[in-house]
Amino acid sequence: MRKLPPDFDAGIYRSLHTDLNGFSDNQLAAHYRDYGRQEGRRAHSIQDRNAFAELIANDRALEIGPYAQPLLRGPHVRYADIYSTAQLRAMAPAANLDPERIPDIDWVVAPTNLEAIDEKFDAVLSSHAIEHQPNLVGHLRQVSELLLDEGRYLLLVPDHRYCFDHFKTPSTIVDVLDAFARNVAKHDPKSLILSRLLITHNEPSRHWSGDHGLPEHNPHFPHDDRITLLASALELLNKASDALYNDHAWFFTPDSFVSIMNDLKVLGLTNLHVERLYPTLRNTLEFWVVLQKR
């Protein structure tokens, strides 16, 4: 199995940031720990999300939810989505996506259930999917069942601080365990209400510069006040049976995600552990995680 690049490499950190040229390796490590990580400085060899996906380029892999922007390609790659190939291609023009880039979907799965997939893989990859899973523990267990021993789950996860979730409260282990104990199978109404009331802009460079927009000012409904936003969420909940399918259930930072995963591992609720975490880079809105099955 391919060895993964470390999340901190002193030589790379020094070469990328010329203001640190005179620092020793120990000083660089301390600088990254105390300042560089929070500043979004890159300290590893992975330049972008495509390079992250390349970590499993030669593995037999499954990509969950590729839509028209799959990160994995090749004869050894399979795809699962909640929509069929034909449905995705029909939907693509409305989202300004190229239908021809949509891969052939091998398994159409339920939004929170991967049991239809009847093969095992060296690796599974999902991009901005795990935050949609209302039962985080259940999702991790389903992915684990798809992995061979020592297999890896690669995740591209939005950092709520730098995306439209900025004003939402970070999820905790208490939230995760509550959803697990209740065996949650779909989003709570709270998810939709939060999305209507506390959504903000999705421009990471603005967030990194400190411009987060205004709380309780939904850019999709710029003329609606707080009460109108709440009332419209309630109306949608009453009218649409599928209104809860596509909201974010979880709001992570790199540190909070690792903390939750460590707790779940110690509690015996998952056999996936954090092998690597590559923190959010400046002016971007996602971090990259590799979980390994053991």
Look at the chain and count its residues: 294
Contact 268, 253 (CB under 8 A): no
Same domain, 181 and 145: no
In the chain, what percentage of residues exceed pLDDT 90? 90
Provide the residue range defining the domain that includes 190. 173-239
For 25, the token pair is 């390796």
Predicted confidence (pLDDT) per residue in 235-275, tens digit: 988 886 665 567 899 999 999 999 999 999 999 999 999 99
Same domain, 124 and 182: no
Same domain, 150 and 55: yes
Q: How many domains does the chain have?
A: 2
Tally of CB atoms within 10 A around 87: 14
* pLDDT < 50: residue spans in the chain: none
Report yes or no on 110 lying in a domain: yes
Tell the residue number behind the tokens 């499993």, with chain if given: 56
- pLDDT of res. 1: 74
Cα angle 175-171-44, degrees, rounded to a multiple of 5? 135
- pLDDT of res. 233: 92
Of the candidates 239, 259, 274, which is a domain's last residue?
239
Predicted confidence (pLDDT) per residue in 98-137, tens digit: 999 999 999 999 888 999 999 999 999 999 999 999 999 9
- pLDDT of res. 237: 87
Contact 281, 43 (CB under 8 A): no
Rounded to two decimals, what is the model's pTM?
A: 0.95
Beta bridge partners of 286: 158
Same domain, 55 and 201: no
Contact 104, 85 (CB under 8 A): yes
Report yes or no on 6 lying in a domain: no
Same domain, 65 and 134: yes
- pLDDT of res. 244: 54
Same domain, 213 and 132: no
- pLDDT of res. 188: 85
Of the candidates 194, 216, 239, which is a domain's last residue?
239
Report yes or no on 1 lying in a domain: no
- The two beta strands, 286-293 and 147-158, are antiparallel
Same domain, 125 and 254: yes
Same domain, 180 and 148: no
Cα angle 161-111-247, degrees, rounded to a multiple of 5? 30
- pLDDT of res. 242: 62
Same domain, 74 and 186: no
Q: What is the CATH number of the domain that holds 112?
A: 3.40.50.150
